[in-house]
Amino acid sequence: MSTIKPDNFVLFGDICYSESLKTLRCVEGGFLVCENGRSAGVYGSLPEEYASFPQINHAGKLILPGLVDLHMHAPQFAFRGLGMDFELLDWLESYAFPEEAKYSDTDYARAAYTSLVRHMINGPNTRFCLYATVHVPAALLLMDLLEESGLVCMAGKVNMDRNCPDYLREKSAPRSAEDTRLWLERSAGRYKNVSPILTPRFVPACSDGLMKELALLQKEFRLPVQSHLSESLAEIEWVKQLCPSCRSYAEAYEQYGLFGGEHPSVMAHCVWAGDDEIELIYRNNTYVAHCPQSNMNLSSGIAPMRRFLNRGVKAGLGSDIAGGCHSSIFRAMSDAIQASKLRFRYVKPHEAPLTVNEAFYLGTLGGGSFFGKAGSFETGYEFDALVIDDSTIAAPFPLSAEERLARVIYLSDDRHILQKFVRGRCVKE
């Protein structure tokens, strides 16, 4: 950890951040002020009132908001890059479930999660929504390690009581709810940067009884929810058979009040959402976690991002480790753009591809807003920042800050990150 205090200081450099989906602001040779862990604004010349703040000179470096990963599975980090010849349901059975079962062993969990958290500190993401496993001790251990890292996370003990192997299945809905209550009570008041998020894995793995129990816990503890929605065609067909009275997959969550509305929820993938489902997502203020790399690896499809954005649906990006094998949300940005171009060219010529600035918005402010005021440098936003040394990807001709940002999105890796701040604290340098 750095010796810089998480209170008042100024970063000087070339600053870029999204003000909205359509507006990117770049200030070359600008001052970004951190006051009490929040941005006090970006200035071309430093206002007198901040002149006494310590200044860190990053002349010639890019300064960007920290990136937000709205969807990843912590236990799956261990096998990323494996099983990539499978589709979703076979991949779950062959890779995800056998690996997740190992987290009943707390020693195994400690070793695996320690290596994951080290990787997370080194990368460009500053905020995460993550899934743990069904196991309460391992979920608490993950939260402890995340808290130590300084990263801001919503983490969930997974619920699953049907249609999965015996070795991982929770034995009944009441048992799953009891364990969830235990996890919530043990984590209460324990963390500053980590908070719990209710995590029914997906409809096929959660009985009606379990959904009802979770809805009660959600109201009692006022919890946000994360889950999966309309990811693969085989999965959607399965949900139709399991929930014949529901008009859409989304309704299978909504009928229990587990789909946004009063409590925020984030649904991963939404690849096959049609008009009705998009409307339900929009009306419930539900977030879409777009996971383009996973959707390609598991041949799930290409999500209709242009339609979500046109309808005003809230959305961000997810790595979906380990459906996606790359954790960096810079990579998710370029994947999102490339996937949208294939959709535009081969599938839906009226759905314009995502632009670089739109993808940057999704990976910062778009996902960041799920955490409140995060993902931008507008005054009052929590101070999550990356200082990027892009000198090794410079061009032999002058580039604007906006052009340098595009190259960082497509070409940078963790070695280009000079410093990383979360809530005003330096977590990597």
Measured CA distances, 366 to 2, 207, 419 (Å): 29, 32, 23
Shortest distance (Å) from residue 289 CB to Fe ion: 8
Which one of residues 213, 251, 320, 358 is an interface residue with Fe ion (CB under 5 A)? 320
Stretch that binds Fe ion, among 58-66, 177-185, 232-240, 316-324 (CB under 5 A): 316-324
Under rule CB under 5 A, which residues in 151-180 are in contact with Fe ion? none
Report the C-alpha gap between 401 and 58 in whole angstroms.
14
Shortest distance (Å) from residue 409 CB to ligand GUN: 23
Shortest distance (Å) from residue 266 CB to ligand GUN: 14
Q: Give the residue with the Cβ less far from ligand GUN, 10 or 205.
A: 205
CB distance 373 to 364 below 8 Å: no
Residue 354: how many other CB atoms lie within 10 Å: 25
Report the C-alpha gap between 288 and 130 in whole angstroms.
15
Q: Give the residue with the Cβ less far from ligand GUN, 96 or 109.
A: 96
Look at residues 45, 69, 138, 80 and name the one whose alpha carbon lies nearest to residue 289. 69
SS3 263: coil
Q: Give the residue with the Cβ less far from ligand GUN, 159 or 294.
A: 294
Q: Give the residue with the Cβ less far from ligand GUN, 125 or 227.
A: 227
Tokens representing residue 408 in the block: 């960082």
202, interface contact from Fe ion, ligand GUN, none, CB < 5-8 Å by kind: ligand GUN
Shortest distance (Å) from residue 125 CB to ligand GUN: 18
Q: Give the residue with the Cβ less far from ligand GUN, 41 or 98.
A: 98
Report the C-alpha gap between 29 and 21 in whole angstroms.
24
Q: Give the residue with the Cβ less far from ligand GUN, 201 or 343.
A: 201
| φ and ψ at residue 284, rounded to 5 degrees | -95, 5
Report the C-alpha gap between 394 and 159 in whole angstroms.
47
Residues that bind ligand GUN (CB under 6 A): 73, 88, 92, 96, 201-202, 228, 231, 294, 320, 323
Shortest distance (Å) from residue 205 CB to ligand GUN: 7
Closest residue to bound ligand GUN by CB: 323
Shortest distance (Å) from residue 268 CB to Fe ion: 5
Shortest distance (Å) from residue 51 CB to ligand GUN: 50
Tokens representing residue 248 in the block: 């859409």
Region class of 36: left (phi > 0), else alpha (psi between -120 and 50), else beta: left
412, interface contact from Fe ion, ligand GUN, none, CB < 5-8 Å by kind: none
Report the C-alpha gap between 272 and 130 in whole angstroms.
23
Shortest distance (Å) from residue 359 CB to ligand GUN: 20
Q: Give the residue with the Cβ less far from Fe ion, 103 or 377.
A: 103
Report the C-alpha gap between 17 and 357 in whole angstroms.
10
Q: Give the residue with the Cβ less far from ligand GUN, 63 or 101.
A: 101
231 binds Fe ion (CB under 5 A): no
What is the DSSP code (8-state) at residue 352? Answer: P
343, interface contact from ligand GUN, Fe ion, none, CB < 5-8 Å by kind: none
Report the C-alpha gap between 255 and 246 in whole angstroms.
9
Closest residue to bound Fe ion by CB: 320
| φ and ψ at residue 213, rounded to 5 degrees | -60, -40
Beta bridge partner(s), residue 26: 16
Q: What is the binding site for Fe ion (CB under 5 A)?
A: 268, 320
